[in-house]
Amino acid sequence: MPRTDPAAGDDRSLLPDDVDTFEAFARALGALRRDGGLPSYEEIARRIGRGRAEAGRGGPPAKVTVYDCFRPNRQRLDIDLVHDIVLALTDDARRADAWRHLAQTLNGARLGAHVVVTTMSAPSTPVSSVTDPTDGAVTIVTGLPGVGKSTLARTLVRTEFAAGTADIALVIELRGYHAVLAPAEPVEALRALARAVGARGGSSAAPNLLRDGIEKALADRRAVLVFEDARSAEDIVPLLPRGVRSIVTSRSTLHGFEELAAARALRQPVARRELVPLPVDEAAAAIAAGLDGRTLPPAALDRLGRASGGIRLAIDLIVRFIRDHPDWTPDDVAERFDVPSAGSPIHPLLDAVYQSLDANDAAALRRLSLFAAPVHVGTLRRASPETASAVPRLRSLHLVDAGPHLTLHDAVRAHARERALDEDPLSRRRSFARAFAEASRARLETGGRVDRAQAVELHAAAVLAHEHSADDELVALAVAAGERLEEDGHWAEIVSVLEHADAVAGPQHRGALAELMARSYEKLGRTDDSLASLHRAQRLGDERMPGRLWNIIGNLHRSLGRWAEAQAAYRRAAAVAREAGNRITEGRAVGNEANLARLRGDLAEACQLFDAAWAITAVAGDAGNRTILRSNRTFLHAALGRFADAEAESRALLAEDPPGMSPAYHTVTLATVLLADGRPAEAVAALEHGQRMSDGAEGFDVLPEIRALRAQALQAVGRLDEAERDARAALEAIDGTGFDLPVPDALGTLALVALDRGRTDDAASLATEALAAAERLGDVNEVARAHEILGRAAIAAGDDERARRHLRDSVRILRRMGHERAGRLVSAFPALVS
């Protein structure tokens, strides 16, 4: 009996029941015509003509040809005409596809188990080699349907002919994934091959005797056998004759082939070639190359490259259409093929694959198509074990890429997603979205640091949840992710998660989400968005620690160099906190204002504010802020030239490892003191110790800062190659993160390295970049350093006037700060700055 079910595509509801003969088919098609209002056959032909004209594929069929499809005594059906008739009657493309498949099935049921074996002739013109021929080797070519497996197999055969290593080639059609016919039985394939090569033994011989006969018949011949469309390793391995060059094509990866071949004592080497769809640019280039001189605009080629899905068969179809329709404009052609997947040239290919899946695997593919980005198989397993269990089978058909992070080719995703939206009710998809959001949150809570792949997965989970209204799970995921990603650094992804959650969150969550968004916006350099979110959080939030958000607003203004706004925010934070009795936030706000005064160069005021913050923090018992104050006050001591006090405090922090700061960061404090005290070699050692201390638990910004400072110390001791490498590594590590604090430091060091190497122009250019970065950040100390480096570069270039201007600017800034380096600079260049 024919297989009347269109496999796992779940299209059974689109077809009548029990249609297994041509008579039953004619009755069912007639019933469909009655349901459509009994249009005449002439009217059906007219509708088909209009549809074909709109699609650019010919005119109407003859009325009698349409009538023939309704006759019960047919022996074969025109499957394309059946498709067009059903489309004309129902205007339902999926139903038309299902009826076409049914017609194919009925046609195929009249074909027996015959296995087709054809002979390939040697080419009359030379063929360029695509691989080195290997006697007796087995080449396995796998990939999606239409991707070019058969083309490559025939090219390999022609290469053998050209190299003189083959004089006969046979192609055996195994029908492993045929849309209608059952796969060839291995014994039938052996019988057909035995007949084709003239092997003795007869058709009734056992498989092993048939195979022995084939091997003997080919023993003295230089033959290549091409086994097309193998279904599984279990089916193909018993067919392979020993010592004969064989090429196998399959949609499956033929998992286990090598092991089964070894068990059968097949000694031939095995080579695998997996073909993947072409990228859009290569697909567009292939279309352009096939047009025989006709040119299309780049935009049209790009659209056609995308429409092809990178599938070579679809590319050939597009090229053939363009050749056959020279009167069509490029835009006409692009419009013809740049359509939703149901009308695209690759839809029938992917439909055949989809229909070959069983119901569970098809459902798994539909669920995977809902993701906007790659996800980890472990997270999927937690959310949907049945989907994860189907992944190996989907991979074996090249529908899912290999690796722990699951991705689908764009064409596969688009096709399967359309199926998901059509076949799976919203409630089922929402249930999956909820489960995946929960699984993603659980992975966050039980895992270590978040890497970029997991951050992208969180984005995928958020998009999925948002699209399917899994609002509560999305908000919970966003809060959990926001707390983790703020310290792990992947701000672009966290902003995506938070923005999706913010769009659906209830009032009780919006304040917290706004604050998390503000932190991420700040790191991305979206300062206006960050400030807007902070003010929104301040309005919406029910602060458990009054004044805290104003303190954060002050930090953002400080990072932008807006000293007055930062000072006002810190003072407001301290006042709100003081009024509410929140001594913790008050101490932190006063401490931040103290550090702001240090950065502004008002070192005397900084001393007073640090003392006030210390007193408040002591009363509050805030151990974390006490550590921050000790560290920041160490920088103040160094700026005032109190190197002994600064070094003692730095080493105490390093030894005690108090809460509130990464222990590795204390080496930055110590190295800064040592470098300012003229002890660069000790500074290098301290920073190397900090790098060894790093266990990955500190914030992402610590190691780039260590590298930038180490580069400065290495330059001071003359290790220029290492200094340049560390400075560039620091810049690379923070590129695009929004954390620019080490930028002027690293650029200044690169300028000094260039100056040491006699490249004065490069030195001046880099120092100018450092100055601009420092001024943008409001880092007064680095502004003074950049002016000093520009002055040194001008001296090397023989431009005393420019040197005098920059050095005096540096001294003026340092004196205004009360910085000890001002005196040293005057002593080093008395003639220029006195």
3-state secondary structure string across 648-684 = HHHHHHHHHCCCCCCCCHHHHHHHHHHHHCCCHHHHH
Which pLDDT does position 378 carry in this prediction? 93
- Contact between 244 and 215 under an 8 Å Cβ cutoff? The reply is yes
Neighbours of 691 (CB within 10 A): 14
- What is the chain's length? 834
Query: What DSSP element (H or E) covers 559?
Result: helix 548-559
Task: Supply 98's token pair.
Answer: 């299902």
Which pLDDT does position 110 carry in this prediction? 45
pLDDT at 112 over 50: no
Average per-residue pLDDT in the chain?
A: 85
Which pLDDT does position 4 carry in this prediction? 33
SS3 category, 10:
coil
CA dihedral 744, 746, 750, 751 (to 10 degrees): 20
SS3 category, 258:
helix
pLDDT at 448 over 90: no
Most confident segment among 268-277, 404-413, 704-713, 751-760: 751-760
Kindly give the pairing relationship between strand 405-406 and strand 375-376: antiparallel
- Contact between 143 and 113 under an 8 Å Cβ cutoff? The reply is no
Provide mean pLDDT across the span 388-417. 86
SS3 category, 290:
coil
Sheet holding 245-250, edge to edge: 117-120, 168-173, 223-228, 245-250, 138-142, 270-274
Neighbours of 787 (CB within 10 A): 25
Provide mean pLDDT across the span 767-789. 91
pLDDT at 1 over 60: no
Who has greater pLDDT, 77 or 171?
Answer: 171
Please report which confidence band the pLDDT of residue 2 belongs to, taking 50, 70 and 90 as the band edges.
Answer: very low
Q: How far apart are CA 618 and CA 467, in angstroms?
A: 50
Provide mean pLDDT across the span 645-674. 89
Provide mean pLDDT across the span 450-474. 91
Q: How far apart are CA 452 and CA 374, in angstroms?
A: 11
For residue 627, which of 645, 640, 613 has the smallest C-alpha distance?
613
Q: What is the pLDDT of residues 363-398, one digit of tens each?
A: 999 999 999 889 999 999 999 999 999 999 898 888
Q: What is the pLDDT of residues 226-269, one digit of tens each?
A: 999 998 899 999 999 998 999 999 999 998 899 999 888 888 89
**Unique residue bearing structure tokens 């006002």:** 568
Please report which confidence band the pLDDT of residue 3 belongs to, taking 50, 70 and 90 as the band edges.
Answer: very low
Q: How far apart are CA 462 and CA 473, in angstroms?
A: 9
Angle at 224 between CA 220 and CA 230, to 5 degrees: 135
Describe the crossing of helices 623-639 and 643-656 by its angle, rounded to 10 degrees.
150
Provide mean pLDDT across the span 504-528. 76
Q: How far apart are CA 733 and CA 740, in angstroms?
A: 10
pLDDT at 575 over 80: yes
Provide mean pLDDT across the span 52-57. 73
- Contact between 225 and 193 under an 8 Å Cβ cutoff? The reply is yes
For residue 529, which of 502, 567, 564 has the smallest C-alpha distance?
502
Which pLDDT does position 181 carry in this prediction? 67
pLDDT at 739 over 90: no
Window from 44-58, 121-135, 442-456 with minimum mean pLDDT: 121-135
pLDDT at 571 over 70: yes
Q: What is the pLDDT of residues 312-345, one digit of tens each?
A: 888 888 888 888 888 888 778 877 776 655 556 6
**Unique residue bearing structure tokens 């009780």:** 508
Please report which confidence band the pLDDT of residue 204 belongs to, taking 50, 70 and 90 as the band edges.
Answer: low
For residue 629, which of 643, 640, 618, 645 has the smallest C-alpha distance?
618
Q: How far apart are CA 105 and CA 677, in angstroms?
A: 88
Which pLDDT does position 5 carry in this prediction? 36
Angle at 131 between CA 127 and CA 137, to 5 degrees: 115
pLDDT at 119 over 90: no
Q: Phi-psi bin for 374: left (phi > 0), alpha (psi -120 to 50), beta?
A: beta
CA dihedral 21, 27, 28, 32 (to 10 degrees): 160
In terms of C-beta distances under 8 Å and separation of at least 24 residues, what long-range contacts does 457-461 make, across chains too? 457/373, 457/374, 457/375, 457/376, 457/379, 457/405, 458/485, 458/493, 458/494, 458/497, 459/372, 459/373, 459/493, 459/496, 459/497, 460/371, 460/372, 460/373, 460/374, 460/375, 461/375, 461/436, 461/437, 461/497
Q: How far apart are CA 178 and CA 229, in angstroms?
A: 8
Which pLDDT does position 362 carry in this prediction? 94
Give the N- to C-terminal CA distance of the chain in Å, as an integer. 105
Q: How far apart are CA 375 and CA 358, in angstroms?
A: 23
Q: How far apart are CA 253 and CA 715, in angstroms?
A: 55
pLDDT at 9 over 70: no
pLDDT at 349 over 60: yes
Q: How far apart are CA 817 and CA 780, in angstroms?
A: 9
Which pLDDT does position 463 carry in this prediction? 93
